[in-house]
Structure 1
């Protein structure tokens, strides 16, 4: 054979061809396995095992092709063959044809995956975050209680018909074996006109609907209720109740029990008792209850939840202090300690005031056991689970909440903007927000969040188009924040300044944590536009509004005032205070998976401002990876990062991750 060089010998023995054939074939096997195996529900470890085995097998395959040769007589060792016995040229031609065949198959699979499978995967991914209303299998024990018609001569008694419907819905919603659509989604299907029950059933994702009417005259009441199969329009049950007004409680319980029996729902003793519970024993009190004038228990439970939210958002802290929230919770506990609404109030207090996320989740779980069809409880659980870093559980609870309240656009707005967007699952986030806008097309908040989602992707042109759909006089905080973000990223600082001034100088702005955030933004916009003196005054005002006295401790809350204070110190040029406060903010939010990354971003921005580029750049890979962290679009467009733009390390990060379709309006 002489003494050929190694490369020539590798070619002669078809080792290079074998390596190419193996790699192309292995790639094809991995791609097909990754697509096909999940369809059969195989364990997650199996595709990974296939990849590992193929990697391990590469070296033996190459060695085997070096040592052995395929001959008409079978496999022979290369060294045992005389030159005239070798058929390596023929084998090589055969392997060339095999490589071409495998490459054609690989290209065919690539095209099939790109144009057929990928769109289907994206569609499945998008539909996974939306309610199951369009899916073929509908829960046979699902039901929607539509608004009852008021047949009373006095139209002022409409509240009574609405109250009867609401009580029946509430009673049914306490049955865990049923899927009951929430009140917010059914109230749009007003009574008094023709209803397409099949269409309603499809829109709400239910198999059955309840219709009815209420007629009240003096101390008499007539209630008519009927259960209808929304899939076939078949009437399954109907009953007319002519009773004294004092028997209205019994009527509501009887209707709920009859419907549960028709749907063959299994009721626990507690659920049976809950259906029979009366809000009051007094008819006059019940009349006031329905008018919203005497809702003793709900008053305190709802008050506690509302005050918790206002405390969390820093709104009117004088009236909504931690003590005020606790007082409302204590009143609710004293009146009905085991009610689902009380557990909701406890969850809100623990979540928004105490920031005890595990305990809050436990309270909401107790509420869910008592109110299994309450969409709000599931949404509250999702809020807390995000904070705990339980993102998949949060997504699932959002989806289940949407199934129970499929016409409540706020659920989809929250799912898209406060969960999926933070996970950078932009396609799914867009689907959720698009669904919200299908329900309420001109809702300013939903439009603003849609625009903000485009901003997170760096698609400023699309964001501007969405913002243009919002009425100019809309002063919603979310709308203003998104408009300011757009103006900053387009380097239209004067426009941003005008928007912020209109907000912070408006009525009640001093009570809002968002207004304090805007003050910090205002200082930086003034600085970036060359108004250094005005900026310094604004930074000082921001510090005073956030930290009213030297001894005042800025506690963690929803807007992020601890790290906003650090940014204000940085604006004033106080490096020591800024870094100390930023690090304290990171520690304050240590157990908060939503706010901690934001505090870390603020720390990196402050480090950038004071020239510690190494620390800032070192933090970016983590912040680009962690949920609720920074997006590449932030790095591309935010002026905070301008000092890093000539650093090749920063440029490499931005260029390696920037989407190709991100466009600016500049």
Structure 2
């Protein structure tokens, strides 16, 4: 068969129409697989199987289209269909194809429209908020464990430079939200993706369910369920962070991968004590007696695992905070420095250890340049840690470097947009620099967050 006759025969047998229909159907099935399968905890390998099957099915579909024809009377062999019937029915198929193609084009354009935050900024695709995890344990006192798992996932994700991660203080407001409008949450927090989860702890067994959702389109990107003994769950936050990064197509460099996947401890009891202490210490309304209770729990955790670097680091920061805010005693000063240095000896690339040493140098020694050096290391190890940025901005302002302070506050405001302390400091710095239009907009945000605040009035 000469080429001209071959292509004419392809047209007569509606092979082109069949190819378009198959392509559209395959695309639709692939979309269903990628969006629906995670919801039912179907592994990603099943999605790959569907896509491979669709690719392999294409030549088979084309062969069947060559041999058979779809007519108003049903499927018949192509040789038995007259040309007029083929053309008439083919035109009806064309109209259907055009209609579906228009819908596909509209959908694709809609999916590529920039998603904007409440401030009007285009939201980056590789951004995420980890919402408070639901506590499904029979013992409701295990709420600290659900909070701790969420916080550890945030800590692990904060180490990934290619991802914007919203801080805990901005997502905590969504803990008790009965009905979550994820699109609105995404706009409020300035993220394209949201991670939801639940934790059930019974004795030494832990069940964690998580699902990653595209907040703009309210579609599931990835989900998983982990049912393990507690002792086997100690490195779960790093495992989860790596899987989330993979689902969002964020590449980890070797150093990030090693830090994210490192287990904080191998002692389950020490880990539980650490989570209890962490919940107490990070409460925004923490009082002196709360800090002392957290210190006691950190000490118990360290007694069970003396090489628990993260517990040493948090203990150092707790003691430095007690010295700075409540009791400027030499015992707190010496104890804080000793624990920070121990944390660094155990794990020199631990962001929290450099943060703790920075706390000691800034709050206790008041040596701004040396504190900045430690905070700079902590910021490079955990680029999404807004606490580090807040400390840097405060020091820059004390040094009279107001413009640098402003840039830092603007950066961390994107990581912690619902933190009134950051917004308050941003407003104060803008006002001092006489950036009146920006200050007016920030004051409006401050009034919305804290209507009773005198700063915003």
Q: TM-score, normalised by structure 2?
A: 0.63
- Check if 1:384 corresponds to 2:395: yes
What is the CA distance between 1:309 and its match in structure 2? 6.0
Superposed, 1:224-243 pairs within 5 Å as: 224-243=209-228
- 1:225–1:255 CA contact under 8 A, matched in 2: no
- Check if 1:253 corresponds to 2:238: yes
- Check if 1:346 corresponds to 2:357: yes
In structure 1, stretches of 5+ residues that fail to align are: 1-130, 451-465, 467-666
Match of 1:281 in 2: 266
What is the CA distance between 1:426 and its match in structure 2? 4.6
2:385 pairs with one of 349, 355, 374: 374
Q: Deviations over 1:582-606 (max 9, x none)?
A: xxxxxxxxxxxxxxxxxxxxxxxxx
In structure 2, stretches of 5+ residues that fail to align are: 1-115, 278-296, 303-308
- 2:264–2:310 CA contact under 8 A, matched in 1: no
Q: Deviations over 1:488-543 (max 9, x none)?
A: xxxxxxxxxxxxxxxxxxxxxxxxxxxxxxxxxxxxxxxxxxxxxxxxxxxxxxxx
Matches of 1:282 and 1:392 in 2, distance apart? 46
Matches of 1:390 and 1:225 in 2, distance apart? 43
Root-mean-square deviation over aligned CA pairs: 2.7
- Check if 1:362 corresponds to 2:385: no
Match of 2:435 in 1: 425
- 1:141–1:178 CA contact under 8 A, matched in 2: yes
- Closer, same or farther: CA 134–285 of 1 in aligned 2, 3 Å: same
Superposed, 1:266-415 pairs within 5 Å as: 266-292=251-277, 293-294=297-298, 296=302, 297-298=309-310, 300-302=312-314, 304-305=316-317, 316-318=327-329, 323=334, 326-415=337-426
- Closer, same or farther: CA 252–354 of 1 in aligned 2, 3 Å: closer
- 1:151–1:213 CA contact under 8 A, matched in 2: yes
What is the CA distance between 1:174 and its match in structure 2? 1.0
Higher mean C-alpha deviation, range 209-218 or range 195-204 = 209-218
Moved over 4 A (4+): 295-300, 302-313, 319-325
Matches of 2:335 and 2:145 in 1, distance apart? 33
Q: Secondary structure at the match of 2:174?
A: coil
- Check if 1:185 corresponds to 2:134: no
Higher mean C-alpha deviation, range 152-161 or range 194-203 = 152-161
Match of 2:282 in 1: none
- Closer, same or farther: CA 218–439 of 1 in aligned 2, 3 Å: same
Q: Secondary structure at the match of 1:258?
A: helix
Match of 1:196 in 2: 181
- Closer, same or farther: CA 320–425 of 1 in aligned 2, 3 Å: farther
- Check if 1:153 corresponds to 2:164: no
Matches of 2:275 and 2:237 in 1, distance apart? 14
- 1:381–1:394 CA contact under 8 A, matched in 2: yes
Q: Secondary structure at the match of 2:207?
A: strand
Matches of 1:255 and 1:436 in 2, distance apart? 34
Superposed, 1:393-472 pairs within 5 Å as: 393-417=404-428, 419-442=429-452, 446-447=453-454, 449-450=455-456
Matches of 2:310 and 2:440 in 1, distance apart? 36
Matches of 2:154 and 2:206 in 1, distance apart? 19
Match of 1:81 in 2: none
What is the CA distance between 1:254 and its match in structure 2? 2.9
Higher relative contact order (CA 8 A, sep 6+): 2
Matches of 2:144 and 2:371 in 1, distance apart? 34
Q: Deviations over 1:254-281 (max 9, x none)?
A: 3222211011111111211122122210
What is the CA distance between 1:299 and its match in structure 2? 5.5
- 2:117–2:188 CA contact under 8 A, matched in 1: no
What is the CA distance between 1:132 and its match in structure 2? 5.8
Q: Deviations over 1:6-54 (max 9, x none)?
A: xxxxxxxxxxxxxxxxxxxxxxxxxxxxxxxxxxxxxxxxxxxxxxxxx
- 1:386–1:394 CA contact under 8 A, matched in 2: yes
Q: Secondary structure at the match of 1:235?
A: strand
What is the CA distance between 1:321 and its match in structure 2? 7.2
- Closer, same or farther: CA 317–198 of 1 in aligned 2, 3 Å: same
Q: Deviations over 1:391-432 (max 9, x none)?
A: 222111101111101111001112222x23332435534543
Matches of 1:364 and 1:387 in 2, distance apart? 15
What is the CA distance between 1:203 and its match in structure 2? 0.2
Q: Secondary structure at the match of 2:234?
A: helix
Match of 2:119 in 1: 134
- 1:409–1:437 CA contact under 8 A, matched in 2: no
- Closer, same or farther: CA 280–310 of 1 in aligned 2, 3 Å: closer
Q: Secondary structure at the match of 1:134?
A: coil
Superposed, 1:626-645 pairs within 5 Å as: none
- 2:351–2:377 CA contact under 8 A, matched in 1: yes
Match of 2:247 in 1: 262
